[in-house]
Amino acid sequence: MTQPTKRKRDRAATRAALLAAARARFALVGYDATSVRDIARDAGVDATLIFRYFGSKERLFEEASRPEDTEPPVAEEARPADVPTWLLEATLRQHLPGASGGHPLTTLLLSSGRQECREQLNSQLSEMYVRNLEQLVDLPDRELRAELLTALLLGINVSRSIAHTPALTKACVDDIAPYFGQVADVLLGTSNATAQTSAPTPPSSD
Amino acid sequence: MTQPTKRKRDRAATRAALLAAARARFALVGYDATSVRDIARDAGVDATLIFRYFGSKERLFEEASRPEDTEPPVAEEARPADVPTWLLEATLRQHLPGASGGHPLTTLLLSSGRQECREQLNSQLSEMYVRNLEQLVDLPDRELRAELLTALLLGINVSRSIAHTPALTKACVDDIAPYFGQVADVLLGTSNATAQTSAPTPPSSD
Amino acid sequence: MTQPTKRKRDRAATRAALLAAARARFALVGYDATSVRDIARDAGVDATLIFRYFGSKERLFEEASRPEDTEPPVAEEARPADVPTWLLEATLRQHLPGASGGHPLTTLLLSSGRQECREQLNSQLSEMYVRNLEQLVDLPDRELRAELLTALLLGINVSRSIAHTPALTKACVDDIAPYFGQVADVLLGTSNATAQTSAPTPPSSD
Amino acid sequence: MTQPTKRKRDRAATRAALLAAARARFALVGYDATSVRDIARDAGVDATLIFRYFGSKERLFEEASRPEDTEPPVAEEARPADVPTWLLEATLRQHLPGASGGHPLTTLLLSSGRQECREQLNSQLSEMYVRNLEQLVDLPDRELRAELLTALLLGINVSRSIAHTPALTKACVDDIAPYFGQVADVLLGTSNATAQTSAPTPPSSD
DNA sequence: CATGAATGAGGCTTCATTCAT
DNA sequence: AATGAATGAAGCCTCATTCAT
């Protein structure tokens, strides 16, 4: 009221706006191709506030490339058979209303010119994907099998958010899940139960 | 040997040294994170020679991110069953003596902040991978199936050359081929014939 | 005065200082021989402010080579007989307190290595000089006559601001006007009325 | 004959070719806008020969901007009344077959960003024009009168070779001479004899 | 507290010129 | 003697960041 109608956002709102803008741009073109002024403009505030609130472009990036807290880690007690599907969903969940930017993996990938990003990519993959998948395997080459399925998820992500490959880009979870389930079964050695359950169509084996 | 370690005055050699250095650096950190001076320093020559020989950083990048000509396109008359394995080999063939830099896909991915790179990534994927794989499928969702297998190859590439995931990074073609073959069979619907032939289950099992 | 001689933090003042410095240098040595750092140094500010305020050296030049707005176009209702004298005055009015740099024509001439400048020179001459003079002529070869008188004005300008020819450089308007008036009469065919009025013979004669 | 058909120009021919190319380019866009490689390309030889034969771009320019020796100084014993016309002809004589480049004055003018060029312009004007014209005047303000007529010649030159003003550009000597003669008479105080003689048309005075 | 003016480092590129062949 | 590969300086411009106001 005392302010001249200009939205005098409070600290938190401004910070959040900057973070959202940063997430969006970093997920779109990566670290190097994004300037602090771009972010500030998108957020509708002055660029120096980035330094006030985050200290540096780098620290803003660190925060923006961390998965949003809304993302629960894989439910601990989930039925093992559901884990792959759950990870697939987590991978595809992006560009949806609610998520302010793209997938953190995309952001990291687009910024992989930076050593830190490659390291973070490595640890995020291993913590969020490989570790969870490995536990489902009871065969030789556990790690390799888990990494291969992780690679598929990663590749799907890249295809959709960066390469914009036509079929994968327009597919929704349900289109992909059946095939993904089969591959998971093959790689992890999980029984055909999953395939039966979650994969409606492909005339699989008979 | 006869020269006192001095740079030799050789157009072709200098051009090649620059191209090799460029390939290496672009494949390591991408376009934006690479400066022309970096490349020149690696090549041991003056930076202005880049402009003499390539015209601009951008044109050097275009040349450096093109697959080396030593890479023959998928043999036209190859047996269909061999195509997936051939593509896997092409994907893994990098950092080998002979190949001066990393895989072109890696380079493009690391430079995806640039619109042109995303487009080139898209067309290289579709021309070199999807198109060849699609022809093997005789089931619904041909394109999607081909793109999923392509995504796996892409993901393997990223895991190895960018994320440096442990198991995949140290695996060689023969370690991966069996699993990849199984996945290809599942996705492309190629009968178990292939699987039988190329490695149904890792040699460890029986 | 209150500031310790430090540069004041004043958008408008800095912009104006840059523009003035640019006008001066461009009018002295032209576009190519002037570097943005030169201009900035003269203005006492950092060179990057040129890009902040003008976008590029080229756009700064465009603004600097435009006639200052203080220059009114030839008074519409001026008596025809006064037009030549008025144009002479406009041509000589430079290096005076108030005008920050030299005459725009000088600037354009000194920068005529650039195609755009030659074109602008052409249009400024024709709009500001030839067009106005032509209307005074009621004889054959109207355009040629007007262009010849324009050429004289142009030549006077060059002599004074570039070649620094001694007599013309130190002459003031009143020294030149009588002779110029006579030439105008001859070329434009305006009767001796004007000549009589404005100064038939230099005051020295009688 | 022993050479492989490649024209192995002799020293003199190559030097001359470079000089001609330099004259042409300098007269077209001036010193700064001309690169030694441009000149060499036009001359069809290697750029380093410029340094071999002339020492530096600067020294080449000095030579190229000197009036060609084919230009005789004003005939010493010429009839005074013919001098102005003679100077007009010298001013317009350019772009003609035979003259390899443009007028030296144009070259100097286009390169006036350089201090040396302004000085040379000054001395060429005073030696070739003012000095000759002054001697014809027997009135007060001798120098000023001569400089004014010189300014007209200079302006005509600029109009034609730089500003490309329409009427003057397409006019030939005979179109301009009558008017120029009248102006010369007025400024130099030479009798109307010249005007009568050389100016056919303008209904001059009564 | 917020704005935006100011800065310095660094990036790409061009040019005149030298040096090896 | 002549070619062209190599070089270093300098130019324009952008960016992250700091400092007054």
**CATH number for C45:** 1.10.10.60
- Calculate mean pLDDT across residues A167-181: 95
How much helix, strand and coil, in percent to the nearest 5, is found in chain A? 65, 0, 35
**Cα–Cα distance, D124 to A13 (Å, whole number):** 72
Of residues D58 and D104, more confidently modeled: D58
Beta carbons of C147 and D165 less than 8 Å apart:
yes
- Contacts with C67 (C-beta within 8 Å, 6 or more apart), sequence order: C104, C124, C128
Interface test with B, best of A25, A116, A129, A147 (most B CBs within 10 A): A147
To the nearest 10°, the Cα dihedral for C61, C65, C66, C67? 150
Q: Which domain covers residue B151, as residue numbers?
A: 82-197
Same domain for A89 and A185 = yes
Question: Into how many domains does chain B fold?
Answer: 2
- Please answer whether residues D183 and C184 qualify as being in contact, where contact means their C-beta atoms are separated by less than 8 angstroms: no
Please check the confidence at residue B183 and state whether its pLDDT lies above 70: yes
CB-CB neighbors (< 8 A) of D188 in chain C: none
Contact A159 B151 (CB under 8 A): yes
Decide: A173 and B169 in contact? Cβ < 8 Å. no
Q: Is residue A27 part of a domain?
A: yes
- E strand intervals along C38-102: none
Residues C181 and C133 in one domain: yes
Answer whether D146's CB lies under 8 Å from D88's CB: no
pLDDT of B160 reads 93
Strand F and C48 CB separated by under 7 Å: yes
CATH of the domain at A103: 1.10.357
Average pLDDT, chain A: 84
**Residue C29 falls inside a structural domain:** yes
Q: Are residues C117 and C164 in the same domain?
A: yes
Q: Which ranges of chain B does DSSP label H, i.e. alpha helix?
A: 11-29, 36-43, 48-54, 57-64, 83-92, 104-110, 115-125, 131-134, 142-158, 166-170, 173-188, 192-198
Give the pLDDT confidence score for residue D156 in this predicted structure: 96
Residues 56-115 of D with CB under 8 A from C: 109-110, 112-114
> Residue D76: what pLDDT?
59
- Answer whether A156 sits within 8 Å of B163, measured CB to CB: no
Residue B134 pLDDT > 60:
yes
> Which of A108-117, B69-78, C180-189 shows the lowest per-residue confidence on average (mean pLDDT)?
B69-78
Q: What is the mean pLDDT of residues A94-107?
A: 68
Q: How far from D198 is each of B19, B157, C189, D150, CA to CA, in Å?
A: 71, 87, 18, 19
Say what the pLDDT of residue B133 is.
Answer: 93
For D164-193, give the DSSP string: --HHHHH--HHHHHHHHHHHHHHHH---HH
Nearest one of A19, A29, A43, A31 to A114, comparing CA atoms: A31
Q: Which nucleotides of E are covered by protein (CB under 7 A)?
A: 2-21
Asked whether residue D122's C-beta has any atom of DNA/RNA strand E within 7 A, the reply is: no
d(CA D101, CA D28): 8
The answer on pLDDT for A197 being more than 70 is: no
User: Looking at the domain assignment, is residue C202 inside a domain?
Assistant: no
pLDDT for residue B153 is more than 90: yes
Please indicate, yes or no, if residue C56 is contained in any of the structural domains.
yes
Cα distance between residue D171 and residue A70, in whole Å: 81
Cα C22 to Cα C51: distance, rounded to the nearest angstrom: 13
Per DSSP (E only), the strands in B69-172 are none
pLDDT of residue B194: 44
What pLDDT shows up at residue B190?
86
DSSP state of C67: P
With a cut of 80, say whether residue C196 has pLDDT above it.
Answer: no
Share of chain C above pLDDT 90, in %: 67
> Residue A3 pLDDT > 50, yes or no?
no
Q: Return chain B residues 17..56 having CB < 7 Å to nucleic acid strand E.
A: 34-37, 47-48, 50-51, 55-56
D172 and D89 housed in the same domain: yes
Instruction: Name the nearest CA neighbour of A94 among A6, A29, A158, A44.
Output: A158
* CA distance linking residue D67 with residue D74, whole number of Å: 13
Would you give the DSSP letter of residue A112?
T
- Comparing C-alpha atoms, which of B55, B1, B46, B3 is closest to residue B21? B46
Angle at D12 between CA D8 and CA D15, to 5 degrees: 90
- At B71, the pLDDT band (50, 70, 90 cuts) reads low
| CA pair distance C23, C137, nearest whole angstrom | 35
- Determine, yes or no, domain membership for C1: no
D139 and D43 in one domain? no
Minimal Cβ distance to B187: which of A140, A144, A179: A179
Share above pLDDT 70 across residues of chain A, in percent, rounded to a whole number: 79
The answer to which of B14-18, C44-48, D97-101 has the lowest mean pLDDT is D97-101
Backbone angles phi, psi at C101, to 5 degrees: -125, -150
Same domain, A26 and A89: no
Together in a domain, D45 and D98: no
pLDDT at B150: 97
C77 pLDDT band, cuts 50/70/90, is low
Q: Give the separation between CA D81 and CA D136, rounded to whole angstroms.
A: 8
Domain assignment present for residue B69? The answer is no
D150 lies in the same domain as D188: yes
Q: If DSSP states are collapsed to H, E and C, what string results for C16-27?
A: HHHHHHHHHHHH
- % of chain A exceeding 90 in pLDDT: 67
Residues C95 and C167 in one domain: yes
What tokens were used for B147?
């793109």
Domain shared by C193 and C93, yes or no = yes
Segment D32-41 long-range contacts (CB within 8 Å, at least 24 positions apart): D32/C30, D32/C32, D32/C33, D32/C113, D32/D111, D32/D113, D33/C32, D33/C113, D33/C114, D33/D110, D34/C113, D36/D60
Task: Give me the residue from B147, B155, B166 closest to A167, CB to CB.
Answer: B147
Q: What is the mean pLDDT of chain D?
A: 84
Tell me if A55 is assigned to some domain: yes
Which nucleotide lies at the shortest CA–C1' distance from C9? E5
pLDDT in tens, D150-166: 999 999 999 999 999 99
**pLDDT tens digits, residue range B28-58?**
999 999 999 999 999 999 999 999 999 999 9
Q: Which of C91, C37, C31 is nearest to C67 (CA)?
A: C91
Of B132-146, C2-16, C40-54, which gets the smallest average pLDDT? C2-16
- D108 lies in the same domain as D35: no
Cβ proximity of B150 and A156 under 8 Å: no
With a CB cutoff of 8 Å and minimum separation 6, the contacts of C3 are none
Contacts of A165 by beta carbon, 8 Å cutoff, 6+ apart: A159, B122, B125, B126, B130, B147, B150, B151
| B 93-132, residues with C-beta < 7 Å of strand E | none
* B29 and B42 Cβ atoms separated by less than 8 Å: no
pLDDT at A103 (0 to 100): 84
DSSP assignment string, C1-49:
--S-SPPP--HHHHHHHHHHHHHHHHHHHTTTT--HHHHHHHHTS-THH
Name the least confident of A103-117, B13-27, C100-114.
C100-114
Query: Would C191 be classed as within a structural domain?
Result: yes
D90 and D172 both lie in a single domain: yes
- Radius of gyration of chain C from Cα atoms? 20
Task: Give residue-wise pLDDT tens across range B92-115.
Answer: 886 554 555 578 899 999 999 999
* Residue of higher predicted confidence among C6 and B17: B17
Model confidence at C67, pLDDT cuts 50, 70, 90, reads confident
Give residue C69's pLDDT. 63
Distance of alpha carbon B73 from the chain centroid: 13
Backbone angles phi, psi at B160, to 5 degrees: -75, -45
Nearest CA in chain D to C200: D186
Tokens of A88: 């697939």
Q: Dig out the tokens for C12 from the structure.
A: 């408008």
| pLDDT tens per residue across span A56-88 | 999 999 999 988 766 565 555 567 888 999 999
Q: Is A171 on the interface with B (CB under 8 A)?
A: yes
Q: What is the pLDDT of residues A6-53, one digit of tens each?
A: 445 688 889 999 999 999 999 999 999 999 999 999 999 999 999 999
